[in-house]
Structure formats: structure tokens, C-alpha cells
């Protein structure tokens, strides 16, 4: 009994857990076996190519897909049904009512979370200040700019001050200044003890801000861990970019064969432009020697540490 009580409390401390979650809209399985445990006061980023199932996973957590999934999703150890107030879901398409002014949109969103109209307005104004959103509440949402709409969408989803914030691609369409502002906002929420789960396709940007990255690939978790661990997992230390002055097929074949043998990955090739991933500095010396041997003339474009988006090309 004691063991079960302990287990219950242990589980209930985890904001979101997903165990063996499988899901398909039709015949094709979109999510294959998703296991995730989150902790309080952390920012998680789910990353993956378009169509990899990021939005689907967030929607399942938020309970906005009516079709059933296999496996378990729990919010503080409970089914979503009992924990609606503990999370806020910022979807990619903000659900404004275009014919109502912003003030009434705020009031109606408040109603969804059983918040009084005054309270909803007060919270919205506070959130607007945090997000530096100066807009006229008498205007209608369609008159706002893209960045303003995104921020208003976030505000409307967080009026109930939830502990868990789930955001689907919140950075899309935001310029540099607004992205920085949103990161600042998100990190501030973390400081206040909130858990944030967001999706993004900008690996390079998120690596500097999040605690954990989850990479989805073909419906499975390809990587889960701290950003700095990703490079290790993929075995890339350096990126070497060259442009050959001429690249005949037979020479290219020889080079490919050599790279395969030496476990050097060719991440990209556009015409005479090639990008290699190297595991050590020695690899570069060897590769340069091989270019000479085969008779390839090359101009080095870049030799540096990789950014995560390049690593991503490999996945």
C-alpha cells in the first residue's frame, strides 16, 4: 500500500507523462511509441520535420483530438479530464472570433476557463504588458499584424495562469525582436515554476533556450535529451564544406566509396558543393589527402563546429 501511495505521489509530480502512445488518423500510424516524462520548471522542445507528428502529439496531450490513442497520457498523474485547468494549449491557429472586438474575445476565452470577465481582462492586460503588446482592445483581431495575432493567441490561452504551457510552433511568423521577446516570456514562466512544452523546426535557435530536445522522426522518438548531447549522439564534431572546381562522376564515385569506408558522412551535395560531417580533425587531413589522390581540386568554404540544423539534415 505504502509503495502504491509513494508511486502515486511520484507520478503526480510529473506535469506531463506519455507512455507507449500510439496514434493514427487513418490507416497510417502517425505516432508509434512515444514515451516522455517531464519535470516541473523545464522547457521541452519537440522538433521534427514537417509532418513528423509534432502537432498531433501536442493535440493529444491537450485533448483536442477526439479520436482515441493507444497508451497513456497523464497530467500530474491524472487523466486530462480532471486536469483541464492545469494546462494551456496555444494552437498554431489562434481561435479568435473575428467579428468580436479583442475585449470580447478576451472575455469569451475567460469563460472557457470559468474566469470572470473582470479577471479575464485584468489577466490579459498583465500578459499584454509582459509581451509588450500595445493594442486597442476595441479593435477586431483581423486588424492586427501577424506578430500581434500570435501574441494575442498566446495570451488568450493563458488567461487561467496554467502550470503547464503547451505551444505549437509559437515562433512561426515572428521577427527577430518578437522571437526574443517570446523566449524571454517563456523563460520567465519557467522561473515561476511552469513547465513549457513547445514545438519548433528551428533547432539552432531552440538549443540555446530549452532544457530538453525531443526529436521526432517517422513517428518515433529519435533523440531525447539535453541539446549538447545531440552532437555526441550523432557523432559529428566538425562540418567541412568544400566546393570542387570540377567533379567528374568517376571521381565522385571514388570519393563516396572512401567516405563510406571511413565512416565520413556526406550530409549534403548540390552540384560541386559538398558538406561532410567529421568526427575528428584527423578526418579533415585524411580527406584533403584523398582529394589530392583522386585529383580533385577543392576550395574550402567552411570548417567549423556544426549547428544543430545541419545535424538535423543527417537525421
Interaction site with Mg ion (CB under 5 A): 54-55
Q: Does 91 help bind ligand ADP (rule: CB under 6 A)?
A: no
Burial class (CB in 10 A: 0-12, 13-18, 19+), 305: exposed
Q: Does 200 help bind ligand ADP (rule: CB under 6 A)?
A: no
**Closer CB to Mg ion, residue 49 or residue 286?**
49
Burial class (CB in 10 A: 0-12, 13-18, 19+), 114: exposed
Integer Rg of the chain from CA: 24
Q: Does 95 help bind ligand ADP (rule: CB under 6 A)?
A: no
Q: Which of Mg ion, ligand ADP, none has residue 51 at its interface (CB below 5 to 8 Å by kind)?
A: ligand ADP
Q: Does 178 help bind ligand ADP (rule: CB under 6 A)?
A: no
**Closer CB to Mg ion, residue 54 or residue 224?**
54
Q: Does 64 help bind ligand ADP (rule: CB under 6 A)?
A: no
Q: Which stretch binds ligand ADP (CB under 6 A): 45-53, 170-178, 264-272, 274-282?
A: 45-53
Beta bridge partners of 221: 216
What strands, in cross-sheet order, belong to the sheet with 273-278? 265-270, 273-278, 238-244, 298-304
Contact 13, 76 (CB under 8 A): yes
Q: What b-and-e string marks burial along 122-132, b requiring 16 or more CB atoms within 10 Å of the CB?
A: ebbeebbebbe
Give the separation between CA 162 and CA 118, rounded to whole angstroms.
Answer: 18
**Closer CB to ligand ADP, residue 54 or residue 190?**
54
**Closer CB to Mg ion, residue 51 or residue 295?**
51
Q: Does 55 help bind ligand ADP (rule: CB under 6 A)?
A: yes
Beta bridge partners of 95: none
**Closer CB to ligand ADP, residue 54 or residue 74?**
54
Q: φ, ψ for residue 80 (rounded to 5)? A: -55, -35
Q: Which residues contact 265 (CB under 8 A, 6 or more apart)?
A: 236, 259, 276, 277, 314
Q: Does 66 help bind ligand ADP (rule: CB under 6 A)?
A: no
**Closer CB to ligand ADP, residue 58 or residue 181?**
58
Among 6, 51, 143, 229, binds ligand ADP (CB under 6 A): 51
Q: Which residues would be at the binding site for ligand ADP (CB under 6 A)? A: 25-26, 30, 48, 50-56
Amino acid at each position: 500500500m505504502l509503495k502504491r501511495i509513494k508511486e502515486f505521489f511520484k507520478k503526480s509530480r510529473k506535469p506531463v507523462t506519455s507512455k507507449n502512445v500510439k496514434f493514427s488518423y487513418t490507416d497510417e500510424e502517425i505516432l508509434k511509441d512515444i514515451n516522455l516524462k517531464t519535470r516541473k520548471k523545464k522547457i521541452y522542445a519537440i522538433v521534427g520535420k514537417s509532418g513528423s507528428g509534432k502537432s498531433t502529439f501536442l493535440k493529444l496531450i491537450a485533448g483536442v483530438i477526439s479520436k482515441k490513442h493507444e497508451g497513456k497520457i497523464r497530467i500530474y498523474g491524472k487523466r486530462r479530464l480532471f486536469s483541464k485547468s492545469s494546462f494551456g494549449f496555444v494552437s498554431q491557429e489562434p481561435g479568435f472570433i473575428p467579428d468580436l472586438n479583442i475585449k470580447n474575445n478576451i472575455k469569451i476565452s475567460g469563460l472557457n476557463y470559468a474566469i470572470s470577465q473582470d479577471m479575464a481582462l485584468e489577466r490579459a492586460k498583465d500578459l499584454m504588458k509582459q509581451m509588450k503588446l500595445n493594442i486597442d482592445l476595441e479593435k477586431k483581431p483581423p486588424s492586427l499584424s501577424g506578430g500581434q495575432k500570435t501574441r494575442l493567441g498566446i495570451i488568450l490561452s493563458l488567461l487561467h495562469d496554467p502550470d503547464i504551457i503547451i505551444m505549437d510552433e509559437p515562433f512561426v511568423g515572428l521577427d527577430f525582436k518578437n522571437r526574443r521577446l517570446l523566449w524571454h516570456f517563456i523563460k520567465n514562466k519557467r522561473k515561476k515554476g511552469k513547465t513549457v512544452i513547445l514545438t519548433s523546426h528551428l533547432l539552432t535557435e531552440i538549443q540555446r533556450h530549452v532544457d530538453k530536445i525531443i526529436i521526432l522522426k517517422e513517428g518515433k522518438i529519435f533523440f531525447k535529451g539535453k541539446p549538447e548531447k545531440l552532437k555526441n549522439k550523432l557523432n559529428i564534431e566538425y562540418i567541412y564544406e568544400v566546393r570542387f572546381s570540377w567533379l567528374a562522376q568517376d571521381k565522385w564515385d571514388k570519393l563516396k566509396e572512401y567516405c563510406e569506408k571511413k565512416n565520413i558522412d556526406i550530409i549534403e551535395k548540390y552540384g560541386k558543393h559538398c558538406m561532410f560531417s567529421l568526427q575528428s580533425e584527423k578526418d579533415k587531413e585524411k580527406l584533403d589527402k584523398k582529394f589530392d589522390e583522386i585529383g580533385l581540386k577543392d576550395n574550402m568554404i567552411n570548417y567549423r563546429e556544426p549547428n544543430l540544423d545541419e545535424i538535423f539534415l543527417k537525421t
